[in-house]
Amino acid sequence: MSTQKNPNDGNVFLIDMTKCTGCRGCQVACKQWNQLEAEKTEFFSGEGYQNPPAMSDKTFTRIKFRDYQKNGQNEFAFYKEMCMHCNEPACASVCPVGAFHKTEEGPVIYNADRCIGCRFCMIACPFGVPKYEWSKAFPLVKKCTGCYSRIKAGMKPACATACPTAISYGPRHEMIKEAERRLTMYPDRYLKTVYGKEEAGGTSVMYLTALPFDELGFKKVTLRPLPGYTWQALRLVPSVFLTVGGGLSALSWINHRKERLSRLRDEEAENTETKEDK
Amino acid sequence: MTAARYVINEIKGYHRFIKFLIFLVVASALASLVRFVFGLGATTNLNDTYPWGLWISFDVVTAVPLAAGAFTLGAIVHCFHIKKLEPLVRPAIVTGFLGYSLVCVGLLLDLGQPQRGWHVLRYWNLHSPMFEVSMCVMAYTTVLFLEFLSPVCEKFGFYLPLRVLRWLEMPLVIAAAAISTLHQSSLGTFFLIAVDKLHNLWYTPVLPLLFWMSAICAGLSIIILEATASHKWMGQPNEGVLLKTLAKILPWALGAYLCVRIGSLVFLSQGPYFDSPALLILFAIEVGIGFVLPLIMLMQSRIRNSDSRRATAAGLVVFGLVLNRFNVSMFGMMHGDKIYFPSFIESVVTIGIIAAHVLFFVLLAKYFPIFEHHPETVDYSLPDRFQKVGAVGARH
């Protein structure tokens, strides 16, 4: 699970959707750096201008488009979809072989050599991020790596490097300060929250937007770290095992003893009867 | 005459129904080969929105509680010491062993990397309910295999292993109950992580407890159904008197389950219950027909005493359990207009797994002393040639 001491030291993405121009440079940079295959897509196949229609094993990040009206004018709002790199990731907690872990640097990374392909991470992720190689006979899970290899080499993630306007990348506490500074400097421009500051117990991707989050396609998620939901039951496992095992052992010992004693009594009674008969 | 011809002749003598089951199993084996050649995407209707489908919902999440009869009955007979029910134990163990073996088969088909299944043993993650269930299922399948060895040893006259197994009987029964409690409940823990995905009608923090309690209800019901069926169709002795006792225990289990279920709905509610009519109907059918109705039925001695009505009530409980597991793992997780429906190959494989269960049960009962088992008639003493070894191990 998490190897990180203080989640506020890890690096995070601060994505200011009001500054996004929808150029999709991040999408291209991600494909290039991760050597991901292209997908054959059609325009307007899904909800609008966004392409491809969903994230997949070949697309780790994607810009979603949403048109809306502002002062009688048609406007676009954007939303960058990617792994949120949670501080306490659900995927890492449910994986039976511990194939995911949260690194000290910030990204949640996936160890493909361990994965058995059970897809529990896909069920658990509140943001629907891990994707599966459905076209393969022996598929693995794919997701945004947070460009861990680049970070190790002292670089910024590919999408953050390519983005001309919207993505800042740095330590979490600094990025939170920066987000709050923007919220106070331009109160008219933003919705008064930082998505990702507390969602799912805090994530390493945080958003500033002008439109309500649900209208942009942000998922409404719990503020409590997800691993706690299963751990509150799982932590009882040893005591349940001992209680049931011990209880049943004691019960059967008592019952067997009772049976043995009554058998002895019967035998004794028989013995005395036979003696009396003599 | 070669062995192959002997086998063919033996199969030719089987009932038509058995031949049909063999056909289903072979079809399902072929269908599962298709999965390994063309991949999960091509053969199933699974996708990134619905990564778990019929194979998880039925072959794992439903099949495990349906095989709960073995540990429930083992505990009732040996720990609570209701010895007269002992003749029912062995068929229940065979059902359990077959059930768990087929769970493993279903799981291996569903895994993306089945050849790495053993990784669970190497890379432990104590925080994962899946890790917990995998370890327990492996341990419990081993326990069931050991318990299942008794009739095999009796059949072939392996006296020494038989004595060892008899000596292990109580530890195995207790291990079975403890391990089963853990993984039956941990299957419910799986869905605790689906916080904003599973509908409120089923999402509750006590889901693990509910899964365990309903598994006990289903285990008892399966024993009733199975004993009634093997009396009716396999010419086995009528165990009606014993089943009446079980039918007396069952309403208590059902009542306790319903209390916790309703209590959790009333006191632990997290959100709206009435926002989806389709799910509400499923919920009503599940709880009403699957749990409340059989509870009312089994509270009447008239129904408990009638073989067919008792079996009907037990059948309703099994129906309720199956629907409950599907509601939790499949229907309750569906949102909006995107719907999952199992593909042809997924269905053929699952039908084949059910058929394999029935087939192997019938064949085992045909060739091994499963039903004729009355422990007081089994001679556990060693033949003369074992006297020297026997003297060391003699306890009784």
Strand partners, A14: A168, A206
B201: containing domain: 23-368
The angle, 0 to 180 degrees and rounded to 10, between the axes of the packed helices B89-110 and B207-233 is: 120
Nearest to A138 among B113, B124, B208 (CB): B113
The answer to whether A227 contacts chain B (CB < 8 Å) is: yes
Q: What is the pLDDT of residues A174-215, one digit of tens each?
A: 999 999 999 999 999 999 999 999 999 999 999 999 888 877
Contact criterion met (CB < 8 Å) for B127 and A1 = yes
How is residue A245 written in tokens? 């095992």
Contact criterion met (CB < 8 Å) for A119 and B174 = no
Report the residue of chain B nearest A224, measured CA to CA: B195
The answer to whether A212 contacts chain B (CB < 8 Å) is: no
| d(C-alpha B185, C-alpha B20), whole Å | 36
**Do A185 and A152 share a structural domain?**
yes
Q: What is the pLDDT of residue A2?
A: 46
Nearest to B193 among A229, A244, A255 (CB): A229
Interface of A with B in 163-182 (CB under 8 A): none
Contact criterion met (CB < 8 Å) for B47 and A240 = no
**Which DSSP string corresponds to B331-388?**
GGG--TT------HHHHHHHHHHHHHHHHHHHHHHHHS-SSS--GGGS--SPPGGGHH
The answer to whether residue B6 is domain-embedded is no
The answer to whether residue B114 is domain-embedded is yes
Query: In total, how many domains does chain B have?
Result: 1
Q: Give the Cβ contact number of residue A49 at 10 Å.
A: 16
Angle at B199 between CA B276 and CA B290, to 5 degrees: 85
| Residue of B38, B40, B210 to mutate, testing the A interface (most A Cβ within 10 Å of its Cβ) | B40
| d(C-alpha A123, C-alpha A127), whole Å | 10
**Do A201 and A172 share a structural domain?**
yes
Å from A49 to nearest chain B CA? Answer: 21
The answer to whether residue A212 is domain-embedded is yes
| d(C-alpha A161, C-alpha A180), whole Å | 23
The answer to whether A58 contacts chain B (CB < 8 Å) is: no
**Do A259 and A160 share a structural domain?**
no
Q: What is the pLDDT of residues A40-98, one digit of tens each?
A: 877 766 666 788 888 999 999 999 888 888 788 888 888 999 999 999 999 999 999 99
The answer to whether residue A180 is domain-embedded is yes
Query: In total, how many domains does chain A have?
Result: 2
Helices (H) and strands (E) in chain B, counts: 18, 0
Place of tokens 């899964």: B211
Burial of residue A87 (number of CB atoms within 10 Å: 0-12, 13-18, 19+): buried
Cis, peptide link before residue B383, omega less than 30° from 0: no
A52: containing domain: 11-225
The answer to whether residue A178 is domain-embedded is yes
| Residue of A91, A93, A100, A134 to mutate, testing the B interface (most B Cβ within 10 Å of its Cβ) | A134
Instruction: Of B379, B4, B36, B17, give the one whose Cα is nearest residue B233.
Output: B17
The answer to whether residue A4 is domain-embedded is no
Residues of B whose CB is below 8 A from A60: none
pLDDT reading at A278 higher than 70: no
| CATH number (domain holding residue B217) | 1.20.1630.10
**Do A210 and A261 share a structural domain?**
no
Amino acid, res. B279: L
pLDDT reading at A248 higher than 50: yes
Report the residue of chain B nearest A118, measured CA to CA: B111
Q: What is the pLDDT of residue A56?
A: 92
Nearest to A136 among B39, B81, B182 (CB): B39
Contact criterion met (CB < 8 Å) for B51 and A126 = no
The answer to whether residue B213 is domain-embedded is yes
This model of the complex carries an ipTM of 0.89
Burial of residue A115 (number of CB atoms within 10 Å: 0-12, 13-18, 19+): buried
Give me the phi and psi of B253, to 5 degrees please.
Answer: -65, -45
Q: What is the pLDDT of residue A162?
A: 95
The answer to whether residue A249 is domain-embedded is yes
Number of alpha carbons in the 13 Å side-chain half-sphere of residue B317:
33
The answer to whether residue B124 is domain-embedded is yes
How is residue B9 written in tokens? 């002749």
**Do A271 and A171 share a structural domain?**
no
Residue A180 region by backbone torsions, left for phi larger than 0, else alpha for psi between -120 and 50, else beta: alpha
**Do A173 and A103 share a structural domain?**
yes
pLDDT reading at A1 higher than 60: no
Q: Are A76 and A67 in contact (CB under 8 A)?
A: yes
| d(C-alpha B35, C-alpha B48), whole Å | 17
Contact criterion met (CB < 8 Å) for B79 and A248 = yes
Please report the sign of the dihedral spanned by the C-alpha atoms of residue B198, residue B203, residue B207, residue B213.
negative
Q: What is the pLDDT of residue B90?
A: 87
Mean pLDDT, chain A, whole residue set: 90
pLDDT reading at A8 higher than 80: no
**Do A173 and A193 share a structural domain?**
yes
The angle, 0 to 180 degrees and rounded to 10, between the axes of the packed helices A227-234 and B159-190 is: 140
Give me the phi and psi of B385, to 5 degrees please.
Answer: -65, -10
The answer to whether residue B71 is domain-embedded is yes
Inter-chain Cβ pairs, chain A and chain B, closer than 8 A: 190
| Residue of A237, A241, A242, A263 to mutate, testing the B interface (most B Cβ within 10 Å of its Cβ) | A237
Burial of residue A174 (number of CB atoms within 10 Å: 0-12, 13-18, 19+): middle
| CATH number (domain holding residue A109) | 3.30.70.20
Nearest to B196 among A220, A233, A248 (CB): A220
Å from B136 to nearest chain A CA? Answer: 11
**Do A151 and A16 share a structural domain?**
yes
The answer to whether residue B186 is domain-embedded is yes
| Residue of A39, A55, A57, A94 to mutate, testing the B interface (most B Cβ within 10 Å of its Cβ) | A94
Number of alpha carbons in the 13 Å side-chain half-sphere of residue A130:
31
Low-confidence stretches of chain B (pLDDT < 70) are 1, 372-396
**Do A242 and A215 share a structural domain?**
no
**Do A145 and A251 share a structural domain?**
no
Buried b (16+ CB within 10 A) or exposed e, B160-193: eebbebbebebebbbbbbbbbbbbbbbbbbbbbb
The answer to whether residue A65 is domain-embedded is yes
The answer to whether residue B8 is domain-embedded is no
**Do A240 and A195 share a structural domain?**
no
Q: What is the pLDDT of residues A150-174, one digit of tens each?
A: 999 999 999 999 999 999 999 999 9
Contact criterion met (CB < 8 Å) for B39 and A135 = yes
Å from A119 to nearest chain B CA? Answer: 6
Q: What is the pLDDT of residue B379?
A: 59
**Do A200 and A133 share a structural domain?**
yes
Contact criterion met (CB < 8 Å) for A249 and B174 = yes
The answer to whether residue B58 is domain-embedded is yes
| d(C-alpha B2, C-alpha B4), whole Å | 5
Grouping H, G, I as helix, E, B as strand and the rest as coil, residue A70 is strand
